[in-house]
């Protein structure tokens, strides 16, 4: 080590470089000067070998490159992770996994290249990384589905609380006959958002019996709204009086529902207030602009990073971190 030519031993240089305590001020100064003069950069491989840590965290996105760049979900997540990590000494390492052979990624992860990994994906059907959890600290993000992941670490958006929030907003606006268009019941997003709607209505003592299901597409939202309207009319109530608010499990379906409402001559939010979920790219531009629950993707990334960093620091954060959301109030409610 050339820097030792600054009067001290390799050990002392190491101490200084790593900001260790118990080093004489003058010795430290000498080392710093030498480091500066020699333009010294410690070799990370050697350091890692000796210290058994890399200071690198991998962010694994098990999608094709095109998807990663096309899908509006990933960008904020990456940004959130990067931001959270920039406060630390960890370097971020984006691994677009499906581009190369999975085996390559696996070896990379297991080969001691990183101290921990973040895995983010839409579809939790990918089991590739489950086994790694025992060897390498991993934090999953996005929308967990696998039941076997009970012992894993997760960061997720609190769908249930968010749906409750949205429904309570409808209640606060004076709406009393609130229906919901729920999503597919084989996904957490579908199940939890329906539960949240029930929570809010139950707590308010209002009946939670007007439910129709869709599959998150705009067409299914329009159809579900038709059914809701038909059921309401058959109860004998005057048009519009049997229903004055709807919580829709995502913005796409909400757009469809509004279309149906308007085509029936009902006004939004005059006759029926609508609240969606996602705050997707179109939420602000449809007519009327949609009140919806904002999906905090950057926050998801940031929290994932933080949970992993805490684990790496020897801390034991909770296995499941739920991120609160917030309502974006626009004109549809």
| Footprint on this chain of a second copy (rule: CB under 8 A) | 41-46, 48-49, 54, 56, 64-66, 68-70, 74-75, 78-79, 82-83, 85-86, 91-96, 99-101, 104, 107-108, 110-113
104 lies in the site for DNA, by CB under 7 A: no
- Which of DNA, a second copy, none has residue 29 at its interface (CB below 5 to 8 Å by kind)? none
Q: How far is the CB of 211 from a second copy (least distance, A)?
A: 37
Neighbours of 125 (CB within 10 A): 9
Q: Is 330 left (phi over 0), alpha (psi -120 to 50) or beta?
A: beta
Q: Would you say 22 or 281 has its CB closer to DNA? A: 22
Q: How far is the CB of 137 from DNA (least distance, A)?
A: 17
33 binds DNA (CB under 7 A): no
Range in contact with DNA (rule: CB under 7 A) among 11-19, 87-95, 209-217, 256-264? 11-19
Taking the complex as a whole, the smallest distance from the CB of residue 332 to a second copy amounts, in Å, to: 27
Piece of 1-9, 61-69, 140-148, 219-227 that binds DNA (CB under 7 A): 1-9
Rule CB under 7 A: say whether 18 interacts with DNA.
Answer: yes
> Min. distance of Cβ 42 from DNA in angstroms?
4
In angstroms, rounded to a whole number, what is the distance separating the alpha carbons of residues 95 and 58? Answer: 7
Cβ proximity to DNA: between 2 and 145 the closer is: 2
> What single string gives the DSSP state of each residue in 261-324?
HHHTT--TTTT-EEEEEE--TTTTTSSSPPEEEE--HHHHHHHHHHHHHHHHTT----SEEEE-
Report d(CA 155, CA 80) in Å as an integer: 13
Return the ∠ at Cα 214 (arms to 211 and 218), rounded to 5°.
125
CB distance 274 to 258 below 8 Å: yes
Q: Is 313 in the site for DNA (CB under 7 A)?
A: no
Considering the complex, state which of residue 17 and residue 82 has its C-beta at the smaller distance from DNA.
Answer: 17
How far is the C-alpha of 275 from the C-alpha of 105, rounded, in Å?
A: 41
Q: Is 239 in the site for DNA (CB under 7 A)?
A: no
User: Among 16-24, 65-73, 148-156, 232-240, which window interacts with DNA (CB under 7 A)?
Assistant: 16-24
- By CB under 7 A, residue 47 contacts DNA: yes
Residue 9 in the binding site for DNA (CB under 7 A): yes
Q: Using CA atoms, how far apart are residues 201 and 177, in angstroms rounded to an integer?
A: 10
How do beta strands 211-213 and 56-61 pair? unpaired
Task: Say which residue the tokens 């029936």 belong to.
Answer: 264
Cα→Cα distances 242→150, 181, 182, 222, 248, Å: 42, 16, 19, 18, 17
List of residues contacting DNA (CB under 7 A) = 1, 7-15, 17-18, 22-24, 26-28, 40, 42-43, 46-47, 49-52
């Amino acid at each position: 080590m050339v820097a030792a030519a600054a009067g001290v031993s390799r050990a002392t240089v190491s101490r200084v470089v790593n900001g260790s305590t118990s080093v004489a001020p003058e010795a430290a100064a000498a080392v710093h000067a030498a480091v500066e003069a020699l333009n010294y950069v410690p070799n990370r491989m050697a350091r890692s070998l000796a210290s058994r840590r890399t200071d690198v965290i991998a962010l694994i996105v098990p999608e094709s490159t095109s998807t990663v760049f096309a899908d509006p979900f990933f960008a904020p997540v990456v940004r959130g992770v990067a931001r959270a990590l920039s406060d630390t000494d960890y370097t971020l390492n984006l691994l677009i996994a499906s581009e190369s052979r999975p085996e390559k990624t696996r070896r990379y992860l297991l080969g001691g290249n990183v101290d921990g990994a973040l895995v983010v994906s839409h579809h939790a059907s990918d089991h590739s990384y489950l086994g790694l959890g025992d060897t390498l600290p991993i934090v999953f993000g996005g929308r967990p589905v696998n039941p076997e992941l009970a012992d894993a670490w997760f960061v997720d958006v609190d769908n249930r609380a968010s749906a409750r929030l949205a429904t309570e907003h409808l209640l606060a606006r004076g709406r009393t006959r609130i229906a919901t268009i729920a999503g597919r019941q084989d996904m957490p997003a579908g199940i939890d958002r329906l539960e949240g709607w029930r929570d809010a209505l139950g707590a308010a003592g209002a009946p939670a019996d007007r439910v129709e299901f869709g599959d998150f597409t705009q067409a299914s939202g329009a159809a579900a709204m038709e059914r809701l309207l038909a059921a309401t009319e058959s109860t004998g109530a005057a048009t519009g009086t049997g229903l004055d608010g709807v919580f829709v499990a995502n913005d796409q379906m909400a757009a469809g529902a509004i279309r149906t409402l308007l085509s029936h001559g009902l006004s939004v939010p005059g006759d029926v207030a609508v609240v969606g979920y996602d705050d997707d790219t179109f939420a602000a531009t449809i007519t009327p602009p949609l009140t919806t629950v904002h999906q905090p993707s950057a926050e998801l990334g940031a929290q994932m990073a933080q949970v992993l960093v805490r684990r790496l620091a020897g801390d034991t954060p909770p296995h499941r971190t739920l991120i609160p959301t917030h309502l974006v109030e626009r004109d549809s409610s």
